[in-house]
Amino acid sequence: MSRPGFVLEVDDRTPPLVVHEGEGFRLETFPRGTRVIYPPESLPGIRDVDGAIRRALLEPTNSEPLPVLLTAGMRLTIAFDDISLPLPPMVKPDIRQRIIEQVLTMAAAAGVDDVEIISANALHRRLTAAELKDIVGERVFRSFFPQGALYNHDAEDPDGMLFIGETDRGEVVEINKRAAESDLLVYVNVNLVAMDGGHKSVPIGLAGYKSLRHHHNSHTMVNSRSFMDHTKSAMHHSAWRMGKLLADHLKIFTIETTLNNDVFPDSYGFLMKREWEWGVRDQASMLAARRGLAIAPKSVRHKLYQGMRAPYGLTGINAGETEAVHELTVAKVHQQQMVEVQGQSDVLVMGVPYVGPYNVNSTMNPILATCMGLGYYFNSYRGQPVVRKGGAVILYHPVEPDFNQLHHPSYVDFFEEVLSTSTDPAVIEAKFEQQYATDPWYVHLYRTSHAYHGVHPFYMWYWAAHAMDHVGDVVWVGADRKAVERMGFRAASSLQDALEMVSGTVGRSPSITYLHNPPHLIADVR
C-alpha cells in the first residue's frame, strides 16, 4: 500500500534534505518551520500490461472497440507522444511500443494496409532513428522506418499540413495532412503530468506555428490557473476549442496512459524515499553517488544522468473518445501526484533536476532551466500557487550557459540577442517572436537536422511568464551569476544568502515551502 504525499514541517530532528540541482544534488538544511511537500509514494504498477492495453482497446470509453473501427482499405495513422515524455525516458519496452504493437496487430487482422506512424513532435526537434526505435521498438521500427512509414511530424512542410478551419475565436486549426486525411487517427499518449493529453495532443502535437501561436503566447500563459487543471487553463481552453473542431472533421481514437512515480533506477532509489527513512543501503548509495558525482568530470556526469532510465510502472490505460478518456486519466494522475497543502507561503524553494522535456539526450541550457523551474514546477499546483503573490522563488541549478548547438541553435540567439534586450515575455513576443518563427535558417534546421524550431525558446520563456508575473523575486542558488543576470534574476551561493537577498521582498522571517520533487507532485493549495 503506497503512502499518500504529505507536508513535513522542518524541526530540529529533520535531517538535511535532498535538493536536485541539474546533474547533481545536495543535502540542504532548511530553516525550522519550512514546509516540505513530499509526493505520494509510487502506486503499484499494473502487472499484466499487455492485458490492460488489450482491454482498453477492446472496451474503450465512449467509443466503439478499436477492431470495429478498423476496416480493410482504410487509411490509418498512429501518432505518439515524442521523446519529451516521459521524464526520464522509461526502461524498455516503452509503453508506446506495447500499445502500437497491439494496434498494428488489430489493424493487420482487419486487413488495413495503409498505415503510417508519426512522432507528434510539433515544433520539437526531430527524433533520430535510434530515438524512434527506442520508443516504438525494434519490430515496428524495422517494419515501418525503412519504408518511410515511420517518421517525424514536419510542421514546416508546406505540402504536409492541412488547414482544417478556425474556432469560434478565430484560432487557426492546421494539422499534419496525413493525419487529417486519415480515416482513423490513433493517438498514443504518455500522460506524465495532468496537463498532458486530452485535446492538448492532436491539436498541438501534430500542429505548427500557425495554430500554436494562439495558445503558446505570453497572454495565455499568464492567464492559466493552472496548467494542471485544464478547466482553469487558458492554454487548454484554446486547445480544447481546437480539439472540438478537429473532432468534427476527423475520427480520433485516443489512448492515454498514466505512470507511477518510479522515476529513478534502483541504484538511485534513495532519491525517492524520505530522508529520515534511509536505510544503510540508501545511505551508502547516497554517499557513493555524491562522492562519485563530485569527482566525475562534467562529461561523465552528463552521460551518467542522461543514460538514466526510469522503471515506471503503468498505473492506468484508457482509450476511446478524447475528453471522456482524459477525465479518467486526470483522476489517475491526481491520485499519484496530488498533495493537499494548506495555504500559500512567502517563499517557494525548488530544485531543478537534470532533465526536462526538451533536453533529453541534450543539455539543459539556462532557458530550459528557467522553463523547468518557473514554468513546469512553479505551475505544478491546483487552486492557487504555492507561493503568495509578490513572494519569492528560490531555485537550485548551476544554470551554466551551455547550449547544444545541434538541438538548440535558436536558444543561443535568444539568450544572446533577445534576453539582452528585454526579459518581459510580452515585449519579447511583440518584438522578436515573428522574426524567430519565420527565420529560414531555423526552419531549415528544424526540418532537416535535429533542432528545435526557431520559436521554441520563446515558448519556454512564456511558460515562466505566470511565475514572473506572480512573484516579486527570483534567486538561483549555485548558479552562474552572469547567466541568471542575463535572464533578469539573481544568483546566490547558499540558501542562507538567497533568503537574505529576498528579505527585502518577503521580510526576515518568511514562511518557506520546499517542493520536494522529482518524483512528480501537484500541490493542491487550499
Partner 1 sequence: MMLALELFRSIPRYAAARTLGSRMPGLLVGPMAPVRLVTRDEPSVRHDGWARVRPLLSGICGSDLGVVTGSTSLYFSALVSMPFVPGHEVVGELLDDATDHAGVPLPRGTRVVVDPVLACAARGLAPCPSCTSGRTNLCDHVTVGHLSPGLQTGFCRDTGGGWGEQLVAHSSQLHAVPDDLSDERAVLVEPIACAVQLARRAQVPSGGSVLVSGAGAVGLFATLALRELTDAGRITVIAKHGRQADLARSFGATDVASPDEAMRAVRRATRALRVAPAPLPGPAARVVGGAGEMLLGGVDVAVDAVGSTGSLDTVLRSTRAGGRVVLSGMPAAADLSPAWFRELEVAGTYASSGDAFDVAMGLARLAPLEGVVGGRYPLHRWREALDHAHSAGRLGTVKVCFDVRSRA
| Footprint on this chain of partner 1 (rule: CB under 8 A) | 412-413, 416-417, 435, 439-441, 444
In the complex with partner 1, which residue's Cβ is closer, 256 or 413? 413
- In the sheet that holds 150-152, the strands lie side by side as 150-152, 114-120, 75-81, 184-188, 252-259, 314-320
CB of 436 to partner 1, least distance (A): 9
Q: Where do the DSSP E strands lie in 21-108?
A: 25-28, 35-38, 75-81
> Closest Cα to residue 380, out of 473, 260, 467, 314?
467
Instruction: Provide the minimum distance between the beta carbon of 410 and partner 1 in the complex, in angstroms, as a whole number.
Output: 9
Indicate the SS3 state at residue 76: strand
CA angle 162, 165, 167 (to 5 degrees): 140
Q: Which residue is it, cell 515551502?
A: 513
The least CB distance from residue 416 to partner 1, in Å, is 7
Beta carbon nearer to partner 1, 50 or 416: 416
CB of 441 to partner 1, least distance (A): 5
Instruction: Give me the sign of the Cα torsion angle 415, 300, 136, 371.
Output: negative
Nearer to partner 1, 413 or 433 (CB): 413
Burial of 1 (0-12, 13-18, 19+ CB in 10 A): exposed
Q: Round to the nearest angstrom and report the end-to-end CA distance of the chain.
A: 26
Least Å distance, CB 213 to partner 1, is 19
Give the number of other Cβ atoms within 10 Å of residue 12's Cβ. 5
In Å, how far from its chain's centre is CA 131? 17
Q: Provide the minimum distance between the beta carbon of 432 and partner 1 in the complex, in angstroms, as a whole number.
A: 10
- Toward partner 1, which CB reaches closer, 19 or 487? 487
* Alpha-carbon distances, residue 336 vs 91, 95, 170, 194, 226 (angstroms): 20, 18, 37, 10, 18
**Closest distance to partner 1 from the beta carbon of 122 (Å):** 23
User: Which CB sits closer to partner 1, 23 or 439?
Assistant: 439
Helix or strand or coil: residue 232? helix
Dihedral sign of CA atoms 359, 361, 365, 370 in order: positive
Residue 81 or 439 with smaller CB distance to partner 1: 439
Please say which residue, 392 or 451, places its beta carbon nearer to partner 1: 451
